[in-house]
Structure formats: structure tokens, C-alpha cells
Amino acid sequence: MGGDHHTHLSEQHSSHRPAAQPWEPRTKLVSGIFFVFGVISVNDLRLLTGALLFAVLFALWAGLAVRQLIKKLLVLVPFLALMSLPLIFSTGIPPAPDRLILASLIVLKALTAMTFTLFVFTNQPIEEMLEAMEHLRVPAVITTTIYLAYRYGFLFVHEMQTTVRALKSRLFDARISRYSLGIYGELSGGLFIKSLNRSETVYRAMTARSFQGSIPIGAPRQVAAADWFKAAIPPLYIISLIIIEQVVL
């Protein structure tokens, strides 16, 4: 595509941006990655609890809404339960103390990492975070794939919702039976074929527009002193927890 036909990714989505940007996305992304990897290396329940509280308070301080955070974390709860309960009761009842500790460590690490990840990606447009990744020299093929998956994931969800409404309108009984399983199989196959057709259509459309494998991005925003200050807080906190665990405890 020629330059007249291109608009920067940041310009394309300017209507979706908040009026004021609280944090330069590159520093925010690096700070979040450092904090999450630091949390993984902590193995003390008390320190992990402190890290979770810090992640929640820091996310709220930086602008993430309480309702939004709770709603997102509740999605993780069933998966944590399915993972933790077999681990806890694998040795019988009552559960062994070491199993409880191990399950607690896993749950706390997952919740803390998820909280900070939500904070990094939720209160700023995904387009800005992908721009930041490219400015940090992440290969364009990765950021483009993430963006397209993010964009067309919504279409897939819409297809699922349309299918569910169609079933309900036909008084479909969602019991586990041979007939129901057959319907589920047909619907899954249909959705798979529709996804393949849509991907082929998108590929042809992008090829016809001379798509070269990367989405144009704007110039990186200048990093302010406030951005450096905010970006330094999570890494310094998690480093202090690691030092306490290794030296004091």
C-alpha cells in the first residue's frame, strides 16, 4: 500500500483512547514483565500475599476499576479450582500440609501475575501495547499475529453467541445425550469451517491491499520522568521481596 493509503495504528484507533495516557506503554510493559517473572521466583506464602496485595493496590492506584478487576479475576477461579483440588486431595483426606502449601503457592502466584497482567493490558488500548512491543524490537510477525487474533477473536465469540441463540430459539435441550453430542459435533465442525473460510477471505483481502506482514506504527512517545518513577516501583518491590526471602527468611 502507498503512504497515502496507510494510517498509523495509533491514528486508526485514536477514538478509542482515553483522554489522558497515564503511563508510557513501553515502560509499563517492561515493568509488568519484570514483576510477573519476579513473582514466579518467590516461594514464601507471606511474601506472595504481600505481592498480591501490592499488585491489587498498584493496579487500582494506576486506574484499573475494582469491578473490572474482580470480573476478570473471577474467570480465573474455576481453572485454579480444577488445578488445585486434585493436587490438594491427591493423598487423601485430610489433605497433607505440604499439598496445601503447594496449592496455595500456585494460586497466589497465578492471581498475582494475572492481576498485574490485567493492569498492564486492560486500561490502555491493545494497539498501544502492540506498538510498544514493536518499539522494543519484538518481531513484527508476533505483534501482527496477536493483533489479528485479538481482532478476529471477537468475531468468533459473536459466531458462538449467534449459534447459542439459534439453539435456544429452537428449544434445544442441552442435556448430555447422544443426540445432543451429535448436535455439538456438527456445530463445532461448522464453526471450524467458517473460521477457515474467514481466514482465507481475510488473507486474500490483505494480499490484494499489498499487505507486507506488519502493521504500520507511529513513532514512540517520549518517556517522562513520571513514567520512569512508576515503572521502577514494581521491580524494586519484587526485588525487595526476593532479597527478604533469600537473606532474612
Q: Which three cell numbers stand for residue 95?
A: 489433605
**pLDDT at residue number 155:** 75
Question: How many residues comprise the chain?
Answer: 249
Domain ranges of the chain: 24-124+224-249, 139-211
**pLDDT at residue number 245:** 87
pTM of the model: 0.62
Amino acid at 181: L
**pLDDT lower than 70: segments of the chain:** 1-22, 123, 172-177, 213-214, 216, 218
DSSP-based three-state secondary structure for 58: helix
Amino acid at 204: R
Q: Which three cell numbers stand for residue 150?
A: 485479538
**pLDDT at residue number 17:** 40
DSSP state letters, 136-191: TT--HHHHHHHHHHHHHHHHHHHHHHHHHHHHHHTT----SSHHHHHHHHHHHHHH
Q: Which three cell numbers stand for residue 198?
A: 474467514
